[in-house]
Structure 1
Amino acid sequence: MLLQSIKMAFSAIAASKMRSFLTMLGIIIGVIALVVLVSIVSSATSSITEQVESMGNDMLSVSIMDDKENPIKLSELTALQNEDVIGEVAPSAQINATAKHGYNDETATVYGTNAAYYDIQGLTLGQGRFLKTTDVDNSSYVAVLSNELATNLFGSADALGETVSLNGRNFQVVGVLEKSDSIMASLMGNSQAYIPFSVATRMSDSGAGITGFYVSASEPDRLNEAEDTVNSIMMNRLKQDEDAFSIMNSSIIADTMGNITGILTLVLGGIAAISLLVGGIGIMNIMLVSVTERTREIGIRKAIGASRGSILSQFLVESLVLSLLGCLIGVALSWVIIEIASVVASAYLTFQMSGGVVLIAVVFSVAIGVLFGIYPANKAAKKNPIEALRYEG
C-alpha cells in the first residue's frame, strides 16, 4: 500500500511538473540556506580556531603601561622561568622599519625578542635558524625574515647570509620563516623581521626597559595557573597597581571566537529554518489545491471501497515526497555551492559540507512534509463520497 501511494505521488507530481517545482522551491531555498550557511560557518570556525591555536594557545601576552620609573630587565624575565607553571618567556619590542636590500625596499614590522619567541608563537622555519640566546647576549646584528619580506627584498634569490638594512642598520639574514597563507597571518601582516631584543632596544625610543613580553605555560592545561602566577609577580613588581599592566590569555580568544560563531550558527540556522517553514506553507497550499482538483477521483476511490486511511496516506505521502525531493535537490545544490566556495577561498579556508547539518535538513524536511500535509490529507479523507462524485470542479 505504501509503495502504491509513493507511485501515485510521483505520478501526480509528474503530471504538473512546473507547479511541483515551484512548490518545492521554498524547500530547496530553505535547505540551501541551512546547509550552506551552517556548513561554511562551521568550516570557517574550525579553520580559524586551528590557526589561532597554531599561534600558541598556551600563551600569555603581558603589556606594561607604567613601569613606575623602574624598567623591567631581561634578568627579571629569566627569573620568571624558575616558576613551576612557567614554560618559556620572551620579551617583545615592536618597531616599524624600512627594510632595504639593493634597490628593493619594503615597510616591515620588526620584533625584538629572544630564542623562546619561536616556540611560544609556534613559528616554522623554512631556511636557516631562528635567534639564539647568544645573539641577545652579544647584541648581534642578525635577523630572521618572514617569507614574504624575504621574497619582496631578494626575489627568488637565497636570502640566507645576505645583508638587509633595517632603518639604516645592516643585519645578516640567518633565517627565513616558512610561507604562511593563513587568515591570521594576513590580518597581522606578513612583512616581518625578528632581531635580538638587545639590538631592538637600541633602535627604539623606549629605552632598554621591557614594555611587553610573552609567557608560555609549562603544560597547556596549566595556563590559568601560569596567569595567576604572572599576575601575582607583576602586582608585587609594580607596587600593587593593577592598572600598570594587563595580561591577555590566548585561550580566551579561541573560546570567545567559539562562542561568537556558535551564536552566529544558531542565528543563521534559525533564518534557514524560517525559509523551510515558508516552503512548508507552500506545500500545504498546493496540496489543498490538489485535493480540490481531485475531488471526483477521491469520490470514485471511496465508492469502490478505499478506506479513509488509504486516502489520508495517499495525500500525506505526496506531501512528504514533495518535501523530500525539494530537500534532495537543495542538498545537491548546496554541495555544488560549497565546492565553488572552497575553490574561491582555497588560499585561506577549506569548506566542507557538514553531515550533521544535512541530516538535520532531511529530518526537518520530513517533519515539514508530514506536518503541513496532515491538514490537506485529512480534508481529502473526510470528503463524503456522494458529494465528491457530484463535484463538477
Structure 2
Amino acid sequence: MITMSDLCRVSVRQVVRQRGFGVILSIALGITAFIALSVLGQEIRYKVGQDMVLMGGVNIIRVYMDDEQYPGQPQREFYPDTVEAIRNIPGVGMVSQNLRMNKIFSLRGTDERNLHVSFIGVDEYFFPTYSLELVAGRVLTAEDVQQRKRVCMLGREGAQNLYGDPRQAVGKLLVLGQDVFEVVGVVTGVMLGSWSEGGFLPYTTMSDRGWGGGNVRRLFVRAIGWEDVAPVVRQLPRVVREHQDAPYLVCATQDDQLERIQVTFMWVEALLWLGIVASLMLGGFGIWYGTFAAVRARTREVGLKKAMGGSDTDILAQFLAEALVKSVAGGVLGIVVGTLVVEIGALALHTSISYPLLLVSSLGSIVFSAIIGVAGGLYPAIQASRMDVVSALRFE
C-alpha cells in the first residue's frame, strides 16, 4: 500500500514532467473570475448599472399632480412632510422639488440676437438628482432657495448662446421680468436634454413672483438603481395619499429604456457566467484527456507495478492524485490571482471587501477544483487500475 506522502510526491513530480500548465491556467482563470464576481459582482453590477441608468435617466421618476387636466379641480401642491416621507421610501436616493411650468424670457445675446430662454424653478437637489456637472461657477444651494435669492444658473448651450463662452456667463446680470438676477453657475450633463439651452432659478424665487405655476406640483424622484424603480413606483401613490389629498397623482417612468437595460444586464451576466463555466469545463476536459494520455504512455509502467505487487487501488490512487494535483494547483493559483483582482477592484471602485465572503468563495473554489479533478481523472484512473498485467507488459 503506497503511503500518502509518497503518493503526493510522485503525483507532483509526474504533473511537472507532463507540463500540464495549460490545464492549470484554464482552471485558475475560471476560479479567478468566479471569486471576482462572487465578491465584487454586486458592486460592479451597481456601478455599471448606475452609469447606464444615468446615461438614459431611467432611474428618474417624474411625480406630478395632474389636476389641470380635470376642470374644476384645485391646483394641489406637494406638502413638505409628503416630500420627507417620499425620501424615506426604501430605494429612493434623492428627491428634488420643482415647479412644473417653465417661464420664458426674451434675452439679448452678445451678438445682438434676441433669444427666448426658458427657466424652471428647482431646489438644491435638482443638480445631484440629474448628475449634472459644473462648467463654471457654483450650483444653487439650500441658502439660495430658503432666502429666495435672485440668482440663477444656465445650461451650457444657453450660456454659449448668450455669451459665446459658457465660462464668461458667471457673474453676468440678467433682467428677468422686473428683477435683476446674477448668473452664479453653468451646468451640463448627459441627462440635461433641452434644459441645456435654458436656465434654473430657485423655485421659491419663482413662486414668489407667480412664475411656473406658483407651487411645487412636480417632484423628480431618483431611485438608487434601476432595480429600485418598480418598487418605488408601487409605493409612491400610497405614501403621498397617506399625507395629503392627491386623486390625480401621476408617476412617469421610461419603461421602454428600463426594459432594454434589464435585458442587457441579463445577457451580460449570463455571458459572464457562461465564460466561467466554459473555462472550468475546458480545465476538466484537459484533465480527462491528460490523464488518458498519461495512462496510455505509462501502460508498461502500470503493468510493471502490478507485477511487483501493486494493487488496483494503488494504481487508481496514483492517477487520481495526479488529476487532483492539477486541479487543486489551478484552484490555488486562481484564489491567489482572484484575491489580488478583488483588492485592486475594491480600490478602483472605492468600496470595501467582504472578507467572510472572500473566504467562503476561496474554500468553495478549492472544493470545486477538487471535484473537477475527480470528475476528469476518475474514469481514466479506473481504466488504468483494471489493466491486465500481461497485456500491459507487452504494450509497445
- Per the normalisation by structure 1, the TM-score is 0.62
Q: Which string of whole-angstrom CA distances, capped at 9 and with x for unpartnered residues, describes residues 111-133 of structure 1? A: 5224686999999x999942333
State the alpha-carbon separation in 1 of the partners of residues 342 and 119 from structure 2. 39
Specify the alignment match of 1:366 in structure 2.
Answer: 370
Deviation at 1:22, TM superposition (A): 2.8
Q: What letter is aligned with 2:203?
A: F
Specify the alignment match of 1:24 in structure 2.
Answer: 24
Deviation at 1:26, TM superposition (A): 3.2
Query: Which segments of 5 or more consecutive residues in structure 2 lack a partner in the other structure?
Result: 54-59, 88-94, 112-116, 160-164, 223-230
State the alpha-carbon separation in 2 of the partners of residues 102 and 71 from structure 1. 46
Q: SS of the counterpart of 2:201?
A: strand
Q: Which string of whole-angstrom CA distances, capped at 9 and with x for unpartnered residues, describes residues 315-354 of structure 1? A: 11110111122233344444566677778xx4x7669797
Q: Which string of whole-angstrom CA distances, capped at 9 and with x for unpartnered residues, describes residues 261-302 of structure 1? A: 688545522441132112201110110110111112222222
State the alpha-carbon separation in 2 of the partners of residues 271 and 204 from structure 1. 60
State the alpha-carbon separation in 1 of the partners of residues 78 and 36 from structure 2. 50
TM-aligned CA distance change 1:82 to 1:291, over 3 Å: closer
2:206 matched to 1:197? Answer: no
Specify the alignment match of 1:291 in structure 2.
Answer: 295
Specify the alignment match of 2:326 in structure 1.
Answer: 322
Q: SS of the counterpart of 1:305?
A: coil
State the alpha-carbon separation in 2 of the partners of residues 368 and 320 from structure 1. 8
Deviation at 1:165, TM superposition (A): 5.6
Deviation at 1:207, TM superposition (A): 5.6
Pick from 97, 100, 103 the counterpart of residue 90 of structure 1.
Answer: 97
Specify the alignment match of 1:12 in structure 2.
Answer: 14
State the alpha-carbon separation in 2 of the partners of residues 204 and 357 from structure 1. 61
Specify the alignment match of 2:238 in structure 1.
Answer: 228
TM-aligned CA distance change 1:339 to 1:35, over 3 Å: same
Contact 1:311 1:377 survives alignment (8 Å): yes
State the alpha-carbon separation in 2 of the partners of residues 21 and 7 from structure 1. 18
Percent identical among aligned pairs is 22
Summarize the alignment of residues 331-350 of structure 1 with structure 2, pairs less than 5 Å apart. Answer: 331-334=335-338, 346=348
State the alpha-carbon separation in 1 of the partners of residues 206 and 62 from structure 2. 19
Pick from 191, 200, 219 the counterpart of residue 213 of structure 1.
Answer: 219
State the alpha-carbon separation in 1 of the partners of residues 311 and 180 from structure 2. 94
Specify the alignment match of 1:81 in structure 2.
Answer: 81
Report which stretch shifted further, 326-335 or 2-11: 326-335
State the alpha-carbon separation in 2 of the partners of residues 153 and 263 from structure 1. 41
Specify the alignment match of 1:381 in structure 2.
Answer: 385
TM-aligned CA distance change 1:38 to 1:94, over 3 Å: farther
Specify the alignment match of 1:133 in structure 2.
Answer: 146
Q: What letter is aligned with 2:331?
A: C
TM-aligned CA distance change 1:121 to 1:234, over 3 Å: farther
Specify the alignment match of 1:34 in structure 2.
Answer: 34
Specify the alignment match of 1:3 in structure 2.
Answer: 5
TM-aligned CA distance change 1:188 to 1:223, over 3 Å: closer
Contact 1:100 1:165 survives alignment (8 Å): no
RMSD, aligned α-carbons: 5.8
State the alpha-carbon separation in 1 of the partners of residues 118 and 364 from structure 2. 47
Deviation at 1:171, TM superposition (A): 3.5
Q: SS of the counterpart of 1:172?
A: strand
2:259 matched to 1:246? Answer: no
Contact 1:40 1:351 survives alignment (8 Å): no
Q: Which string of whole-angstrom CA distances, capped at 9 and with x for unpartnered residues, describes residues 242-267 of structure 1? A: 7xx22569xxx9xx999986885455
TM-aligned CA distance change 1:60 to 1:40, over 3 Å: same
Contact 2:120 2:212 survives alignment (8 Å): no
Q: What letter is aligned with 1:132?
A: V
Contact 1:81 1:89 survives alignment (8 Å): no
Q: SS of the counterpart of 1:67?
A: helix
Q: What letter is aligned with 1:142?
A: V
TM-aligned CA distance change 1:49 to 1:23, over 3 Å: closer
State the alpha-carbon separation in 2 of the partners of residues 84 and 329 from structure 1. 51
2:182 matched to 1:172? Answer: yes
Q: Which string of whole-angstrom CA distances, capped at 9 and with x for unpartnered residues, describes residues 162-197 of structure 1? A: 4466999964367999xxxxxxx9654699875212
Q: What letter is aligned with 2:382?
A: N
Specify the alignment match of 2:92 in structure 1.
Answer: none
Q: What letter is aligned with 1:30?
A: G
Aligned length: 347
Contact 1:93 1:210 survives alignment (8 Å): yes
- Per the normalisation by structure 2, the TM-score is 0.62
Summarize the alignment of residues 115-126 of structure 1 with structure 2, pairs less than 5 Å apart. Answer: none
State the alpha-carbon separation in 2 of the partners of residues 264 and 40 from structure 1. 15
State the alpha-carbon separation in 2 of the partners of residues 384 and 226 from structure 1. 76
TM-aligned CA distance change 1:110 to 1:366, over 3 Å: farther
State the alpha-carbon separation in 2 of the partners of residues 23 and 385 from structure 1. 31
Query: Which segments of 5 or more consecutive residues in structure 1 lack a partner in the other structure?
Result: 53-58, 178-184
Q: What letter is aligned with 1:381?
A: S
